[in-house]
Amino acid sequence: MKLRGVVWAVLSAAAVAVSAQDGRPAGPAHTTLTSGEMAWGAAPPALPPGASAVVLAGNPAEPGPFTMRVKIPAGYRIPPHRHPVAEYQTVLEGTYSVGKGERFDAAALHAMPPGSFSVMPAGMPHFGFTKDGAVLQVHGNGPFTLTYVNAVDDPRKAAASAN
């Protein structure tokens, strides 16, 4: 058991040394951002128009952990959809309501005020709504994609047909 610990320590030190030699950091870079330093832009085209987003760490489109924030306006509705990986949401501002199922059902919405947290397991159909607007922090492991239960709800298809 002690030998295993020594072997692990030696291998870990070797990995750090190799990373340092080729110029790559040994782990994720230390990052700090104040709210004023966050560069908000249009949300990904998979979301209905009107939302804005900022990726804080990682890349949702690539394998590995990511953290992003999504700002959604009053009256915003996200139709039923699913993700291939778990989605973790924390409500930072406003009230965001989520429901699960393959059809949007206002009676099934669960209101989440600031500080609330939810987990949507991989593959679980769910939907969202905010009456007055909200800011969510979303994190998980990529690649993080969004597939609508009903293809007609996909704003990417509407944008493609407009071109």
**Looking at the structure, do residues 39 and 26 belong to the same domain, yes or no?**
no
**Looking at the structure, do residues 3 and 58 belong to the same domain, yes or no?**
no
**Looking at the structure, do residues 88 and 143 belong to the same domain, yes or no?**
yes
**Looking at the structure, do residues 100 and 129 belong to the same domain, yes or no?**
yes
Read off the CATH number of the domain in which 78 is found: 2.60.120.10
**Looking at the structure, do residues 54 and 10 belong to the same domain, yes or no?**
no
**Looking at the structure, do residues 35 and 66 belong to the same domain, yes or no?**
yes
**Looking at the structure, do residues 24 and 14 belong to the same domain, yes or no?**
yes
Using only C-alpha atoms, the chain has a radius of gyration, in whole angstroms, of 20
Which residue range(s) make up the domain with 5?
A: 1-30
Q: What is the pTM of this model?
A: 0.79
Tens-level pLDDT at each residue, the chain (163 residues) = 443 433 333 333 333 333 334 454 455 678 888 999 999 999 999 999 999 999 999 999 999 999 999 999 999 999 999 999 999 999 999 999 999 999 999 999 999 999 999 999 999 999 999 999 999 999 999 999 999 999 999 999 876 666 5
Instruction: Look at residues 141, 135, 44, 49 and name the one whose alpha carbon lies nearest to residue 86.
Output: 141
**Looking at the structure, do residues 68 and 121 belong to the same domain, yes or no?**
yes
Q: Is the separation of the CB atoms in 147 and 81 below 8 Å?
A: yes
**Looking at the structure, do residues 12 and 54 belong to the same domain, yes or no?**
no
**Looking at the structure, do residues 71 and 111 belong to the same domain, yes or no?**
yes
**Looking at the structure, do residues 120 and 97 belong to the same domain, yes or no?**
yes
Q: Structurally, how many domains does the chain consist of?
A: 2
Spatial distance between the Cα atoms of 163 and 161, rounded to a whole number of angstroms? 5
**Looking at the structure, do residues 76 and 24 belong to the same domain, yes or no?**
no
